Structure 1
């Protein structure tokens, strides 16, 4: 189940797969997919199943089918490292995806820009759209609300009997929203919210405000 929130009179829909639709712009925001990471692990002997490589593409298709956005904006770390065989899967995915695709470059995006440009993907360091700033690293700038990634945010919940649960989340501050990592095997970093922060945890197929 998705959850709709309003930021500066714009509507944003949080999806439990980990993306956000900016309704007025028909733009889907996704961060930290880290394509190629699984192939990288397998190359160096990690016991990661081959079928895990396709999981990210299945989830990307599900998001796009649900929202049918005009544009998909990856907020950095689309690829985990240098070229490997997952690039070919990505090329095929781009060819069959009807949405325009853009990339805000992250620290892991070391593949030559020409490779992206060749398949029709534009790369930016950041984007300013109206009152919103799209970046990879969390960035504060006067008068802008920042959408970003990089942190792989999670929240830890504590229950009775010393029960603990760590959940990926959308972490919203007064002027910033940090998206969860989209990719499989990316890991998370627990953030401690203040009273002013809003946390939207991903619980199975639902986005739940904590």
Structure 2
């Protein structure tokens, strides 16, 4: 189940897969997919299931089918490292996806720009769309609301007794929203919210405001 929020009179729909749909622009925002990471770890002997390679593409297909966006903007760390066999899977996915695809470069995006150009994917260091600043690393810019990734935010909840639960989340500050990592094999970083922050945790197949 999704969760809708409004920022600067615009509607944004938070999806349990970790992406966010900007309704007025028909733009799907996704951060930190880290394609190629599974193949990278398997190459060096890590016991990661082969099927994990395909899981990211399954999730991408599902969220695109849910929103049918005109544009998909990846907020950095789309591909984890240098080229490996997952790049061909990504090429195939791009070719069958009708939306225009944009990439805001992240620190892991080291693949030659020519490879993205061949797929008609423009690369930006940042994007400013009306009153919104789209980056990979969290940024602060006067009069702009920042959408970003990089942190892989999570929230830790404590129940009765010693029960503890760590959940990926959308982490909203006064002038910024940090998207969770979309990738299945990425890890998370626990953030401590203040009273002014808003946290939207992903619990199974639902986004819940904490």
Please indicate, yes or no, whether the TM-score normalized by the shorter chain is above 0.5.
yes
Aligned CA-pair RMSD: 0.3
Q: State the SS of the aligned residue for 1:66.
A: helix
Listed one character per residue, the Cα deviations across residues 68-126 of structure 1 (whole Å, up to 9, x for unaligned) are 00000000000000000000000000000010000000000000011001011010000
Residue 130 (1) aligns with residue 136 (2) = no
Residue 32 (1) aligns with residue 5 (2) = no
1:206 Cα offset (Å): 0.4
Q: Which 4+ runs in 1 deviate beyond 6 A?
A: none
Question: 2:177, 2:114 → 1: CA distance?
Answer: 30
Q: State the SS of the aligned residue for 1:195.
A: coil
Question: 2:36, 2:145 → 1: CA distance?
Answer: 31
Question: 1:6, 1:73 → 2: CA distance?
Answer: 19
- 1:67 maps to 67
1:161 Cα offset (Å): 1.0
- 1:172 maps to 172
- 2:148 maps to 148
Question: 1:51, 1:181 → 2: CA distance?
Answer: 19
Question: 1:130, 1:174 → 2: CA distance?
Answer: 18
- 1:181 maps to 181
1:185 Cα offset (Å): 1.3
TM-score normalised to the size of structure 2?
Answer: 1.00
Residue 44 (1) aligns with residue 44 (2) = yes
Q: State the SS of the aligned residue for 2:25.
A: coil
- 1:110 maps to 110
Q: How many residues align?
A: 210
- 1:10 maps to 10
Listed one character per residue, the Cα deviations across residues 127-150 of structure 1 (whole Å, up to 9, x for unaligned) are 000000000000000000000000
1:184 Cα offset (Å): 1.3
TM-score normalised to the size of structure 1?
Answer: 1.00
Unmatched 5+ stretches in structure 2: none
